[in-house]
């Protein structure tokens, strides 16, 4: 359950922080490039292990424990939007063909391809046996995110996600975190950033924000501090958002606008749709193969 709190001390803290800054006009809009490092979903790891047990072959000796992707945050004084960056997600090991040269259609390679294809179909059929909770988790795979729009005024947040060629507008409130601002400071991208901590879904969160850029923006659902958040570490570094580039030149008109295209649903409705469609798809597949001896 997300934690909702009022933040009565932040206006006072903001005034103290801003009083120590130069008198130059603070930046109110710009772009931030984030590298997003996250643990690979447990369900993905389980599926890869099952794939191998069924005779499928994977290119690469090890299954990655984390993967990374890029995020671009556009912000002004009242709104922000996050979109995928130019760099694609780090690829998971291939489940089709094991990296072999398909131009070589030797009997050995054909047999290898057939085993991998059969194992892939069998793993996908396992969705019919997965719990709804496991399948709901897949709704939030980073690959499904098209953009995340936040209105600082009313705290509303709308994520645009694509699943099975359908577009959804997932509407909810951005969490109002109970931030605790510490005395620690450091430098990041040429700005002095201050440390703040809170809790998110039971996990400790450490954020570093720049009071010289007095906007409530940040990566993912994080914001509400007296300055732009440039780094977030969740659960002692298990998940990290790190700003790698910052551009404070003005945005073009229309760069930040509320999403309009897609079916408007709540968070629970979206998760239910994903879980239901995955089970429905799995039911159309051939029976599962027994593991190889």
DSSP string computed for the chain = -------TTHHHHHHHHHHTS-SSPPP--EEEEEEEEEEPPHHHHHHHHHHHHTT---SSSS--SEEEEEEEEEE-SSEEEEEE-SSPPPPPPPSSSTT--TT---HHHHHHHHHHHHHHHHHHHGGGGS-HHHHHHGGG-GGGEEEEEEETTT-EEEEEEEETTEEEEEEEEPP----EEEEEEEEETTEEEEEEEEEETTEEEEEEEETTS-----STT---SSSEEEEEEETTTTEEEEEEEEE-SPPPTTSS----SSEEEEHHHHHHHHHHHHHHHHTTSPPPPPPP-
List the structure tokens of 138.
Answer: 């897949």
Question: Which of 50 and 151 is assigned the larger pLDDT?
Answer: 151
Q: What is the pLDDT of residues 66-100, one digit of tens each?
A: 678 899 999 999 999 999 887 544 444 444 344 44
CA distance 124 to 279: 10
- Phi, psi values for residue 232, rounded to 5°: -135, 130
Contacts with 104 (C-beta within 8 Å, 6 or more apart), sequence order: none
The pLDDT score that the predictor gives to residue 154 is: 93
How many residues appear in the chain? Answer: 293
CA distance 77 to 213: 10
| Paired sense of beta strands 145-151 and 79-84, if any | antiparallel
Return the number of other C-beta atoms located less than 10 Å from residue 279's C-beta. Answer: 15
The pLDDT score that the predictor gives to residue 38 is: 79
What confidence tier does 127 reach under pLDDT thresholds 50, 70, 90? Answer: confident
The pLDDT score that the predictor gives to residue 218 is: 96
What confidence tier does 237 reach under pLDDT thresholds 50, 70, 90? Answer: confident
Contact 39, 66 (CB under 8 A): yes
Question: Which of 144 and 170 is assigned the larger pLDDT?
Answer: 170
Question: Is the per-residue pLDDT at 130 higher than 70?
Answer: yes
Contact 144, 162 (CB under 8 A): yes
CA distance 32 to 227: 13
The pLDDT score that the predictor gives to residue 160 is: 95
Contact 127, 138 (CB under 8 A): no
Contact 220, 198 (CB under 8 A): no
Question: Is the per-residue pLDDT at 26 higher than 80?
Answer: no
Q: What is the pLDDT of residues 45-60, one digit of tens each?
A: 666 666 767 666 665 5
Question: Which of 4 and 288 is assigned the larger pLDDT?
Answer: 288
The distance in angstroms from the start CA to the end CA of the chain is 43
Q: Whole-model pTM above 0.85?
A: no
Question: Is the per-residue pLDDT at 116 higher than 90?
Answer: no
Q: What is the pLDDT of residues 204-221, one digit of tens each?
A: 999 999 999 999 999 989
CA distance 31 to 29: 7
Return the number of other C-beta atoms located less than 10 Å from residue 54's C-beta. Answer: 20
Q: What is the pLDDT of residues 177-195, one digit of tens each?
A: 999 999 999 999 999 999 9
The pLDDT score that the predictor gives to residue 20 is: 45
């Amino acid at each position: 359950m997300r934690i909702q709190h009022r933040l009565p001390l932040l206006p006072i803290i903001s005034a103290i922080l801003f009083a120590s800054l130069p008198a130059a006009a603070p930046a109110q809009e710009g772009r931030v490039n984030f590298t997003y490092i996250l643990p690979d979903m447990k369900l993905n790891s389980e599926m890869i292990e099952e794939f191998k047990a069924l005779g499928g072959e994977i290119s690469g000796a090890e299954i990655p424990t984390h993967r990374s992707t890029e995020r671009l945050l556009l912000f002004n004084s009242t709104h922000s939007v996050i979109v995928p960056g130019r760099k694609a997600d780090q690829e998971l090991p291939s489940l089709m063909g094991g990296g072999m040269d398909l131009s070589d259609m030797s009997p050995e390679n054909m047999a290898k391809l057939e085993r991998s294809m059969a194992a892939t179909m069998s793993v996908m059929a396992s969705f019919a046996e997965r719990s709804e909770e496991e399948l709901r988790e897949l709704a939030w795979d980073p690959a499904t995110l098209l953009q995340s729009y936040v209105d600082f005024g009313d705290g509303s947040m709308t994520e645009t996600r694509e699943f099975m060629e359908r577009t959804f507008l997932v509407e909810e409130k951005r969490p109002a975190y109970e931030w605790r601002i510490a005395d620690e400071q450091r430098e990041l991208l040429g700005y002095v950033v201050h440390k703040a901590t809170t809790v998110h879904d039971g996990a400790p969160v450490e954020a570093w924000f720049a009071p010289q850029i007095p906007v409530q923006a940040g990566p993912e659902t994080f914001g509400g501090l007296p300055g732009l958040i440039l780094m977030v570490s969740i659960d002692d570094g298990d998940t990290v958002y790190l700003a790698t580039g910052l551009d404070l030149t003005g945005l073009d008109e229309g760069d930040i606008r509320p999403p309009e295209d897609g079916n408007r649903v709540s968070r629970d409705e979206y998760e239910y749709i994903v879980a239901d469609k995955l089970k429905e798809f799995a039911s159309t597949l051939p029976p599962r193969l027994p593991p190889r001896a």
